[in-house]
């Protein structure tokens, strides 16, 4: 008789509170509802920078085993998975010998502990890899030079290929990322599939809007160094000046941990009075500001694969979404298909035109057909993963 047991290996798991935990938490939630007997191997909560209960309810009743990890001690290697692998090895062997899961699901990053994945096959068990973001193929990771840079690059190349070679299936979150990996590993091309990120309808019940001004433009999350925010801020200032607006009329509302270079840009363009920096907030409170927005903003990088997760929250709340990117990829394709989506290239004039158009139109809420969003429902996405597990 086939086992119904699934072992999940995830460095980040609730009560970790940031975006890296959402995908695995939602898969665990709905796989459990589908009848899977789930055990999770993860790390102790003391290793997380940010914790709260935003996603803890999703994983109630799921057996979670938390391990220690080695302190970060080697120069040039800061990746958490490297320091988790020694402790994880012993817990993994125990699970293989005594729990006997049907399949093991590993999500990353971090990725270094994936070096253990092929050894799962020695126990007659298949495993699935889930790249929340590309690893070696990431266009946004700055590779270090010198001896340690070369050493870590070679090690990462070996681990990624080693783990992919013996995997049952390898999941990416956009078709563009899947094609990147098929091109890099053509001998394993049939293993690569796409399951996008999405939204959980349970998270969007009874969300009451919060506003800061009459016309809030809300950005949720991190900018990072690879997103060019200057054109947006210049366009935003032009909107203010040409329409002679006060801070009560319009605000840029940023929900996310403060980033020094973004704050400096705001000051340099003299927008302090028109920007509300709310810091990192629990997920449900974040959703309230998004719901109160007139425009939900996303600024993507320059690579087609980029899977920016905030887009799904924006669509689930049926907001007018302005996506700023020069890349013809996941973001532009998704917004083109979304009835309330608008796409702008990352130029001051184009962004200005899109915002001005929305500002003058006195935006009215528009209902989006449920079927338009169904493919991004976490329940639908989990059924895709369920099929892969059962293949």
Does 363 score more than 60 pLDDT? no
Tell whether 98 and 227 lie within a shared domain.
no
Pick the residue with more confidence: 320 or 75? 320
Q: What are phi and psi of 31, to 5 degrees?
A: -70, -35
Tokens of residue 311, six digits: 């887009």
Tokens 């959703």 -> residue: 287
389: in domain: no
Residues 165 and 67 in one domain: yes
| pLDDT tens digits, 144-174 | 777 677 888 899 999 999 999 999 999 999 9
pLDDT confidence bin for 327, thresholds 50/70/90: confident
Q: Can you give the CATH number for the domain in which 186 is found? A: 3.40.50.2000
Same-domain check for residues 188 and 313: no
* Torsion-angle region of 290 (φ positive above 0: left; ψ -120 to 50: alpha; else: beta): alpha
Whether 262 maps to a domain, the answer reads: yes
CB-based contacts of 203-210 (< 8 A; 24+ apart in sequence): 203/283, 203/284, 203/287, 203/316, 204/287, 204/316, 204/317, 207/284, 207/287, 207/288, 207/291, 207/317, 208/288, 208/291, 209/288, 209/291, 209/292, 210/285, 210/288, 210/289, 210/291, 210/292
Any idea what the Cα angle at residue 95 is, between residues 92 and 98, rounded to 5°? 145
Tokens of 292: 């109160």
Q: Do 56 and 87 fall within a single domain?
A: yes
More confident residue, 117 or 143: 117
- Whether residues 213 and 355 share a domain: the answer is yes
Rounded mean pLDDT of 315-342? 93
Mean pLDDT, all residues of the chain: 94
Among 325, 180, 303, 302, CA closest to 311: 325
pLDDT > 70? residue 365: no
Q: How far apart are CA 236 and CA 243, in angstroms?
A: 11
Average pLDDT over residues 333-337: 92
Q: Are residues 211 and 184 in the same domain?
A: no
The reply to whether 226 and 208 lie within a common domain is yes
Please report which confidence band the pLDDT of residue 141 belongs to, taking 50, 70 and 90 as the band edges: confident
Spell 149-160 as b/e; 16+ CB within 10 A means b.
Answer: eeebeeebeebb
Structural domain contains residue 391: no
Whether residue 381 is contained in a domain is answered as: no
In this structure, is residue 383 part of a structural domain?
no
The pLDDT tens digits of the residues spanning 1-33 come to 457 999 999 999 999 999 999 999 999 999 999
User: Where are any strands of DSSP class E within the chain?
Assistant: 5-9, 37-43, 63-67, 103-108, 126-131, 169-172, 192-194, 215-220, 250-255, 275-277, 295-299, 321-324, 341-344
Q: Among the three residues 171, 195, 219, which one is the final residue of a domain in this structure?
A: 195
Q: Are residues 234 and 185 in the same domain?
A: no
Residue 2 confidence (pLDDT): 59
pLDDT greater than 60 at residue 319? yes
Separation between Cα atoms, residue 70 and residue 80, nearest integer Å: 9
Convert the pLDDT of each residue in 195-249 to its tens digit.
999 999 999 999 999 999 999 999 999 998 888 999 999 999 999 999 999 999 9
126-131/215-220 β-pairing: unpaired
For the record, the structure tokens of 205 come out as 């019940």
State the number of CA atoms in the 13 A half-sphere of 248 facing the CB.
0
* 359, 217: one domain: yes
Residue 113 lies in a domain: yes
Higher pLDDT, 313 or 2: 313
Report residue 40: phi and psi, to 5°: -115, 130
- Please state, in angstroms and rounded to a whole number, the distance separating the CA atoms of residues 14 and 17: 7
Q: 162: part of which helix (H) or strand (E)?
A: helix 146-166
Does 238 fall in a domain? yes
Helical packing angle, 348-360 and 230-243, nearest 10°: 40
CB 282 within 8 A of CB 306: no
CB 366 within 8 A of CB 339: yes
Q: Residue 36 has which token pair? A: 């899977």
User: Which residues 6+ apart lie within 8 Å of 166 measured at CB?
Assistant: 117, 118, 121, 127
Do 299 and 328 have their domain in common?
yes
What confidence tier does 367 reach under pLDDT thresholds 50, 70, 90? low
Number of domains present in the structure of the chain = 2
- 128 by DSSP, 3-state: which? strand
Which SS3 state, helix, strand or coil, does residue 42 take?
A: strand
Single out the residue in 180, 195, 210 at which a domain terminates.
195
- Find the mean pLDDT for residues 186-190: 98
Mean pLDDT of 44-48: 97
Residue 157 forms part of a structural domain: yes
Asked if 193 and 388 touch (Cβ cutoff 8 Å), the reply is: yes
258 and 223 together in one domain: yes
Owning domain of residue 322: 202-374
Q: Which of 142, 168, 195 delimits the end of a domain? A: 195
Kindly report, residue by residue over 56-98, the tens digit of the pLDDT: 999 999 999 999 999 998 877 889 999 999 999 999 999 999 9
Look at residue 1 in the predicted model and tell me its pLDDT.
46
**How far apart are the C-alpha atoms of 309 and 61, rounded to whole Å?**
26
Residues 144 and 98 grouped into a single domain: yes
């Amino acid at each position: 008789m086939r086992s119904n047991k699934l072992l999940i290996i995830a460095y980040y798991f609730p009560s970790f509170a940031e975006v890296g935990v959402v995908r695995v938490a939602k898969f665990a939630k709905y796989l459990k509802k589908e009848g899977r007997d789930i055990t999770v191997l993860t790390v102790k909560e003391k290793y997380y920078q940010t914790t709260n209960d935003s996603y803890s309810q999703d994983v109630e009743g799921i057996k979670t085993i938390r391990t220690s990890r080695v302190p970060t001690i080697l120069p040039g290697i800061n990746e958490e998975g490297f320091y988790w692998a020694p402790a994880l090895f012993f817990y993994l062997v125990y699970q293989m010998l005594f729990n006997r899961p049907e399949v093991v699901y590993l999500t990353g990053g971090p990725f270094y502990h994936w070096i253990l994945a092929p050894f799962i096959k020695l126990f007659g068990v298949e495993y699935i890899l889930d790249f929340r973001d590309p690893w070696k193929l990431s266009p946004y990771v700055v590779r270090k030079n010198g001896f340690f840079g070369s050493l870590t690059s070679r090690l990462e190349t070996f681990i990624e290929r080693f783990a992919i070679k013996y995997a049952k299936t390898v999941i990416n979150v956009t078709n563009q990322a899947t094609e990147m990996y098929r091109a890099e590993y053509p001998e394993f091309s049939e293993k690569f599939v796409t399951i996008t990120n999405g939204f959980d309808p349970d998270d969007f019940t009874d969300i009451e809007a919060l506003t800061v001004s009459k016309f809030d433009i809300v950005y949720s999350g991190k900018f990072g160094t690879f997103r060019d925010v200057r054109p947006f801020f210049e366009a935003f200032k032009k909107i203010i000046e040409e329409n002679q607006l006060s801070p009560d009329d319009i605000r840029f509302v940023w929900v996310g941990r403060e980033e020094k270079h973004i704050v400096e840009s705001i000051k340099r363009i003299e927008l302090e009075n028109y920007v509300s920096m709310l810091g990192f907030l629990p997920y449900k409170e974040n959703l309230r500001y998004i719901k109160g927005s007139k425009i939900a903003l996303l600024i993507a990088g320059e690579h087609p694969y980029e899977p920016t997760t905030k887009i799904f929250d924006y669509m689930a709340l049926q907001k007018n979404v302005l996506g700023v990117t020069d890349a013809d990829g996941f973001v532009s394709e998704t917004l083109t298909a979304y009835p309330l989506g608008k796409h702008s290239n990352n130029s001051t004039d184009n962004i200005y035109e899109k915002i001005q158009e929305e500002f003058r139109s006195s935006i009215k809420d528009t209902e989006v057909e449920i079927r338009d969003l169904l493919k991004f429902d976490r329940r639908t996405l989990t059924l895709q993963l369920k099929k892969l597990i059962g293949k």
